[in-house]
Amino acid sequence: MEEYALSFWIYMGVMSVFVGGAMKKILASHISAVPTLVVWLGLLVLLERLCTLCLPAVLGLAVLCAGCGLITRKGSAAQTLPTEGKAVFITGCDSGFGKAAALHLDALGFEVFASVLDLSGAGAVELQHACSSRLTLIQMDITKPQEVQQALRCTVDKLGRRGLWGLVNNAGICVNFGDAELSLTSNYRGCMEVNFFGTLDVTKTFLPVVRQAKGRIVTVSSPSGEQPFPCLAAYGASKAALNLFINTLRHELEPWGVKVSTILPASYKTGQSSNLEYWEKQHQHLVQNLSPSLLEEYGEEYLLETKELFKAHARKANEDFSPVINAIAHSLLSTQPSTRYYAGHGMGLMYFIYSYLPTSVSDRFLKRLFVRKKVLPRALQKQNNNNNQIQK
């Protein structure tokens, strides 16, 4: 009887440690910890069976101590590093997350190298006026290797013998518009050229100075690189390639002391995505370049609805970039940065649905989240009309 009582108390002790750890995750990151809770509770049930069935009391006690040590060490170790003397290079600072990150990191005390496409553009001018004298503005198109090399030379000239603490890969575009079959090959290439090959070149070019500082690489990607968002195949494919490259780099750079993080933002009202004129131009470009057969099979009405759905989504996107900017700052300054940051409300739920519920449920969730089409392709409308005629 005593043996049973001791096993019972060990089991209760282990439960409180694991459930407490999972609840802490829930409080710290809202719903995104739901997957964690599911896993922890599964482990707990397994452990309960072990404790009850085959662990002698002494070993059970050792498990309890190990569990407590694990939770407390992990929980209390993370601290924030000082920004003093740390330099960070950010791509795509003309607008959106890049410009906001440059402003915030400058205010935190970093020496910011903000690269822009247009040194005389509104974004660059705003940064010049709003930031401290530590800011350096650099013109760089990430798809032009000679401009990337020049940007490195300019950065190293200013860093002297110091390494570069942080590289923030932010620059990116969404060229594609519409269903995977309808997206032009030039859309796929356009997204891949900037989002994958451009970021690849910048990362490889700046890696030696980041390794020298045992610093950080932070990449702004997208959930569309991991989940099949409708109408985003070209953009998502480029982000998928980027995610795999960055994730491979993450564990290969561990021996060098370089920490690698990926930021996965929800939907925000930034420069390009909120530019309704941009989506009009994308629509016109598609109609003018789509093959006559596809245009006939899908019909202009179908393409028009897609454009309106993109514009409607852009109107209701989030204007508060702080979840993304705070994630970038945390990934640069925490002694224990996360490998992935879900930057925006509801992202954890989106990933929980995608990870644990049937594909039909997650497919429907993504459609409701982004583009809920009502118009069928013209060819399907004709098929349905013919079937209805036959049934009459």
Ligand X SMILES: NC(=O)c1ccc[n+]([C@@H]2O[C@H](COP(=O)([O-])OP(=O)(O)OC[C@H]3O[C@@H](n4cnc5c(N)ncnc54)[C@H](O)[C@@H]3O)[C@@H](O)[C@H]2O)c1
The reply on whether position 306 binds ligand X by CB under 6 A is no
Q: Which is nearer to ligand C0R, 155 or 238 (CB)?
A: 238
Whether the CA torsion 184, 308, 288, 376 is positive or negative: it is positive
The reply on whether position 206 binds ligand C0R by CB under 6 A is no
Both structure tokens of 332: 């640069």
Q: Could you tell me how many residues of this chain bind ligand X (CB under 6 A)?
A: 28
Query: Which partner from the list ligand C0R, ligand X, none does 97 bind, CB cut-off 5 to 8 Å by kind?
Result: ligand X
| C-beta neighbour count of 276 within 10 angstroms | 13
Both structure tokens of 89: 């290079």
Hunting for tokens 């209390």 — which residue is that? Answer: 76
Q: Which is nearer to ligand C0R, 204 or 315 (CB)?
A: 315
Q: Are 178 and 234 in contact (CB under 8 A)?
A: no
Q: How far apart are CA 151 and CA 23, in angstroms?
A: 45
The reply on whether position 222 binds ligand C0R by CB under 6 A is yes
**Residue with the closest Cβ to ligand C0R?**
174
Judged by CB under 6 A, the residue of 60, 230, 265, 299 near ligand X is: 265
Contacts of 33 (CB under 8 A, 6+ apart): 22, 25, 26, 348
Hunting for tokens 């004298």 — which residue is that? Answer: 133
Q: Which is nearer to ligand X, 18 or 351 (CB)?
A: 351
Whether the CA torsion 80, 81, 83, 88 is positive or negative: it is negative
| Contact letters for ligand X, residues 26-45 (x by CB under 6 A) | --------------------
The reply on whether position 273 binds ligand X by CB under 6 A is yes
Query: Which partner from the list ligand X, ligand C0R, none does 98 bind, CB cut-off 5 to 8 Å by kind?
Result: ligand X
Q: How far apart are CA 172 and CA 221, in angstroms?
A: 9
Q: How far apart are CA 12 and CA 81, in angstroms?
A: 37
User: According to CB under 6 A, which residues from 126 to 145 bind ligand X?
Assistant: 141-143
Cα 43 from chain centroid? Answer: 28
| C-beta neighbour count of 170 within 10 angstroms | 25
Q: How far apart are CA 24 and CA 20, in angstroms?
A: 6
Judged by CB under 6 A, the residue of 7, 94, 182, 206 near ligand X is: 94
Judged by CB under 6 A, the residue of 249, 266, 303, 329 near ligand C0R is: 266
Enumerate the active-site residues.
235
Q: If DSSP codes are grouped into helix, strand and coil, which group holds residue 302?
A: helix
The reply on whether position 25 binds ligand C0R by CB under 6 A is no
| Contact letters for ligand X, residues 171-210 (x by CB under 6 A) | xxx--------------------x---x------------
Query: Which partner from the list ligand C0R, ligand X, none does 21 bind, CB cut-off 5 to 8 Å by kind?
Result: none
Enumerate binding residues for ligand C0R (CB under 6 A). Answer: 172-174, 222-224, 229, 232, 235, 266-267, 272-273, 313, 369-370
Enumerate binding residues for ligand X (CB under 6 A). Answer: 91-98, 117, 141-143, 170-173, 194, 198, 220, 222, 265, 267-268, 270-273, 317
